[in-house]
Chain A
């Protein structure tokens, strides 16, 4: 009996310091992540800053009605989903391709240089990227207009006024910035594949190409699936920086550049309409939740061991 008590005391003495050290981090997650999760009820309230989140009056579905009536809801959902779909495909295919090519390069210095340089754009903030894009696209001083189109005698293009070019520009800019990251993820997975497979294959006379399609790609499957689930679960979210900074939040471009996130920002900070903003955020969170569960369930069915939970 006494011994058990002593053991308990020691156990508490062992446990408590860990809990104390964990407090700052846990408090942070509580404030930064869990309180906003509870705060999504704001979507059903008539938000009054003086009364706060939970003190504001309920107003049913009015925020959603305003949101749907605004006529922008369809545009932002379509843009968000289409861009994400295209980005997922391009990031995966390009990332894997570049990683495989890089893995083929035997010269160490060249390998390192390629890796370093291709990852560089990933390190730039979206504000800086918008400056880089502006240097090419600007009407008065941009390189495309003044260095190419004018020299060729073609009419200049006013990029920041013409929505039809933006799907291509945004796709290009997104890949330019993010391909290095995608490459590193897949390269890490490729490097982890056992060398024995390749040796056995080349003893059996497999060509490099066969080794890639029969060994490398199948071994990448778990990584591809994990990345896919993560991307699909973010299908309703967009990279705010890409869609806000690069088109310079230009209203005339909204038909092809507005996503749910840029709408949420503009409604909250520019139009001072937190209700509609919260409603859009609510839909985003709910659809995101459903997508994570759904994507995981799908993967579970296809190959159980690759599911995240």
Chain B
């Protein structure tokens, strides 16, 4: 009996390895193609297409990026500013809101929590939202247009942090501090925040990645190319391969005919994903944890 069991167990193990290995390869292969193609020679790429193992290599595409750094570097800077400012603001606002919601005795807390849950299920759609941000708040072509709409706060992260405060920070600690004369904000600053580093790291990484990857807000609220983020720049190049050339020739730049267009766009994509790949190991660790923490029903 036990012999049969272990045999079946072994077959399961082998099958699992084969399937998962195949899926892992599938997950990575497109990136390989992107990177290999970005290093291939332009004429070769035009003649032979993008290949996994290009026979003629060249750094043209990356040299081009360096030459165009005024535009691309600016987009990089905008993305970094938006990501850092947005993530920091988000963490402060979320933790303060969740701190209140975590108080079981706070009058109105339940109603407010329900109102926040409702935002996860229903929304008014993009048209009214666009008009509100555009016409009431005039976010168009300001950096706030990239930071504020939709990304700053969402119901899911509020629920996650509130559940964490309730389940992982003992109420006795804040009671003890209160008896010693500490105020609400002092407790928040010196007890709650330090103890909630794991959850703040998790949602901080999630927020940072969604800011870094966002192109939606740019699409709706930014038309000024000085405020383009990396993703929006990629999007513009997607729509119009000569975007960079047109833009720089207006400024008295390069000849559009000499562009390594076939490989340059891929090289810009590579540059845009590098930072995500760099933070990915941290992200992966905290992300799985965060989902598990959020699974605590409350």
Contact = CB atoms under 8 A, between A and B. Distances in A.
Nearest to A114: B20
Interface size class of A (residues with CB under 8 A): 35 or more
A187 B288 contact: yes
B235 to A, nearest CB: 5
B50 interface: yes
A29 B50 contact: no
A158 interface: no
B273 interface: yes
Given A123-B280, A209-B12, A135 B50 contact: yes
Q: Which of A101, A113, A133, A205 has the most CB of B within 10 A?
A: A101
B129 A39 contact: yes
B142 to A, nearest CB: 15
A28 interface: yes
Q: Is the interface of B mostly helix, strand, loop or mixed?
A: helix
A142 B281 contact: no
B131 A52 contact: yes
Contact of B127 (A14, A34, A142, A277): A277
Contacts of B280: 116, 120, 123
Contact of A37 (B28, B124, B215, B234): B124
Contacts of B122: 37, 285, 288-289, 292
Contacts of A119: 284, 287
Interface in B113-129: 115-116, 119, 121-129
B125 A110 contact: no
A220 B13 CA distance: 21
A141 B46 contact: yes
B5 A143 contact: no
B96 A120 contact: no
Contacts of A21: 96-97, 99-100, 184-185, 188
Contacts of A289: 122
Nearest to B279: A123
27 contacts: A26-B97, A28-B93, A29-B153, A29-B155, A32-B152, A35-B124, A36-B129, A39-B127, A39-B132, A49-B135, A53-B132, A105-B13, A105-B17, A119-B287, A128-B234, A131-B238, A131-B265, A135-B266, A140-B262, A146-B49, A147-B49, A176-B26, A191-B292, A245-B215, A274-B131, A281-B125, A288-B122
A284 to B, nearest CB: 6
A178 B235 CA distance: 21
Q: Which of B125, B269, B273 has the most CB of A within 10 A?
A: B125
Contacts of A205: 1, 5
